Structure 1
Amino acid sequence: MRIAILALEGLFDTGLTVALDAFAIANRFSTLQMGGTPRFEVSIVGVRKKVRTGQGFSIPVQAITPELKPDWVIVPALGTGTPELLVPALARPDIRQAKAQLLAWHAEGAQIAASCIGTFVVAEAGLLDHRAATTTWWLAPLFRQRYPNVLLDESRMLVPTDIGVTAGAAMGHLDLTLWLIRKASPELAALVSRYLLADIRTTQAPYIIPNHLAQADPLILRFERWARDHLKQGFSLQQAAAALATSARSLQRRCQAVLGKSPLDYFQDLRVERAQSLLHGSGMDIDAIAAEVGYIDGATLRTLLRQRLGRGVRELRADLR
């Protein structure tokens, strides 16, 4: 498999190095332990002759030539973790060149992979329009605003589509690389996964901090504060809208536009976050925790936690020890 990693100025160092290390380990196992040949031909390419990472390291890049015919192109994240830094970065000349190159590679049959903020570059090229995708969870509101035609679900860690695959935040680069290795050889991916003490994760949901998402919009931030104050009482859309001096319809629309979910779904996110905190930081039993977040008994809360986080109460308590 021919892999081209598209290095852009100010890229996220870990995103690049974790992919390079995982592919190198896969090639070593493929050669030494499985008696084969290296499965991955990896090159670092760029629209500039030299690229500096977000931490200031200079990395040489291979020039993009007509002879370069990758099977997969990986776009690592930029080291611009806030909207204030990211939006101007996306207007840079090298990003415009990268977008054109991604379109050219795609037209030639290459698959496109991106993780974290790298997904913004792919979305800028229009390649994610009308397709499912994920991105770094804390920039999901900006992603929705900027790319309304993308079917975003930031709770997912990996989203394959016909044009390639997108992955979630930061260490999602490792999940992405393991996914690509698994496409070549599930056995090889299992070896690399065990060597790195890493498995492919299916969801970002346990890592999402609802308050960070609420910061993207004044109305949503006020709704988040109201919701936290009313977890015990339970959810009422009409009461929430009245308290925020808006209409229920406006609150519904704003939550959908910013968060990609209904006010009730966001209220449930806050319940899950509070319940996780109590599971970790208190000696309360599940029924008492359920009462703190507005449920009559623990059974309903158990179901919600399993549904949202993919783990039961016993597993969550074990994870937090």
Structure 2
Amino acid sequence: MKLHLLALDGVFDTGLSVLLDAFTTANELAAMQGLESLRFDVTLVGVRKRVRSAQGFTVPVCAAPADARPDWVVVPAIGYKMPDALQQALQRPDVRDAGTLLRASAAQGANVAAACIGTFVLAESGLLDHRPATTTWWLAPLFRQRYPRVQLDESRMLVSSEGLVTAGAALSHMDLALWLIRQESPALAALVANYLVVDSRPAQSAYVLSDHLAHADPLVARFEQWARHNLAQGFSLDDAAAALATSKRTLARRLHDCLGKTPLSYFQDLRVERAVHLLKTGDGNIEQVATQVGYADGVTLRTLLRRRLGRSVREIRLG
């Protein structure tokens, strides 16, 4: 597999290193297993001759050859973690040039992948329009606002569709690398994961801080506070709207614009978050926890936790 890693100025050091180390490890293990034909040919490319990482290290990039035909072009994150700084970075000429390179690569048949804040660079190119994707969970409100044509699901760690793959926050660079290795050899991907001590993380939802996302909009933040005080009660959109002195339609629209969720779905997110906290920090059984977060029985809560987090009650307590 031929891969081009597209490094922009300010590239996230950890993300770039994770990708390089994962593919290097895969090549070493493939050779050790007598699978020399299984090789990941990785080239660091840039749209500028000089690229420095977010920590100030020189990144040895080369220009992508005009006749290059990589199987994948992969965009690591750039090191701008907060909305204001990121929006300024996305206006840079090199980001626009990266979009041109990505569109040209896709037109020539290359697949395209991005992780963490690299998904913003990919979205700037327009290639994600009308396609499913994920991104850095805490920047999901900004992503949804900036790219309304992308079908965003930030609860997922990886989202793939024809010719495109996106991965979630920070260390999802490893999840992306393992996914790409798995396309060539599931056994090799499992071996790399074992050597690098990487656990399976099917979703980002277990890491999301719901109140952090809510603060992107004052009305949503007030709804979040109201919801936390009413988790043990049955949800009522009428009651929520009345308590916040707004209309049901306005509340639903603002939550969708900010979080991509209905009020009920977000209310359930907060119930799940609270249930996880109680399971990790208390000694109450599942029935008692279910009552505290407003569910009639433990079976319902078990099912919801498995569906939302991909983890059992036992795994949550141990984790």
Same fold per superposition (TM over 0.5): yes
Following the alignment from structure 1 to structure 2, what is the Cα–Cα distance between the partners of residues 172 and 206? Answer: 13
Aligned positions of 1:125-274 closer than 5 A: 125-274=125-274
Q: CA RMSD in A?
A: 1.2
The residue aligned with 1:101 is 101
Kept after mapping to 2: 8 A contact 1:39/1:184: no
Kept after mapping to 1: 8 A contact 2:202/2:310: no
Q: TM-score, normalised by structure 2?
A: 0.97
- Report the CA distance between 1:67 and its aligned residue: 2.9
Following the alignment from structure 2 to structure 1, what is the Cα–Cα distance between the partners of residues 35 and 118? Answer: 35
Secondary structure in structure 2 of the residue aligned to 1:130: coil
* Amino acid aligned to 1:302: R
- Report the CA distance between 1:28 and its aligned residue: 0.8
The residue aligned with 1:116 is 116
Q: Which moved more, 1:89-98 or 1:292-301?
A: 292-301
Kept after mapping to 1: 8 A contact 2:137/2:204: yes
1:92 aligns with 2:92: yes
Deviations 1:266-299 (A, max 9, x none): 0000001111111111122222212221123322
1:67–1:301: structure 2 CA closer, same or farther, 3 Å change rule? same
1:57 aligns with 2:60: no
* Amino acid aligned to 1:209: L
Q: TM-score, normalised by structure 1?
A: 0.96
Kept after mapping to 2: 8 A contact 1:28/1:38: no
Following the alignment from structure 1 to structure 2, what is the Cα–Cα distance between the partners of residues 268 and 95? Answer: 38
Percent identity for Structure 1 against Structure 2: 61
Following the alignment from structure 1 to structure 2, what is the Cα–Cα distance between the partners of residues 119 and 209? Answer: 20
* Amino acid aligned to 1:98: A
Deviations 1:185-229 (A, max 9, x none): 112111111111114532111111101110111111110011011
Following the alignment from structure 2 to structure 1, what is the Cα–Cα distance between the partners of residues 156 and 187? Answer: 24
Kept after mapping to 1: 8 A contact 2:6/2:44: yes
Aligned positions of 1:299-314 closer than 5 A: 299-314=299-314
Deviations 1:94-138 (A, max 9, x none): 101111111111111111000111011111110000111111111
What is the aligned length? Answer: 319
Deviations 1:24-55 (A, max 9, x none): 01111111223424511101010111211111
* Amino acid aligned to 2:243: A
Kept after mapping to 1: 8 A contact 2:52/2:58: yes
Moved over 4 A (4+): none
Kept after mapping to 2: 8 A contact 1:145/1:258: yes
Kept after mapping to 2: 8 A contact 1:19/1:174: yes
- Report the CA distance between 1:68 and its aligned residue: 2.5
Kept after mapping to 1: 8 A contact 2:38/2:184: no
Secondary structure in structure 2 of the residue aligned to 1:296: coil
Kept after mapping to 2: 8 A contact 1:134/1:155: yes
Secondary structure in structure 1 of the residue aligned to 2:271: helix
The residue aligned with 1:80 is 80
Deviations 1:55-76 (A, max 9, x none): 1111111122213221100000
The residue aligned with 1:20 is 20
The residue aligned with 2:282 is 282
Following the alignment from structure 2 to structure 1, what is the Cα–Cα distance between the partners of residues 294 and 200? Answer: 34
Following the alignment from structure 1 to structure 2, what is the Cα–Cα distance between the partners of residues 176 and 78? Answer: 16
Secondary structure in structure 1 of the residue aligned to 2:54: coil
Secondary structure in structure 1 of the residue aligned to 2:202: coil
* Amino acid aligned to 2:208: I
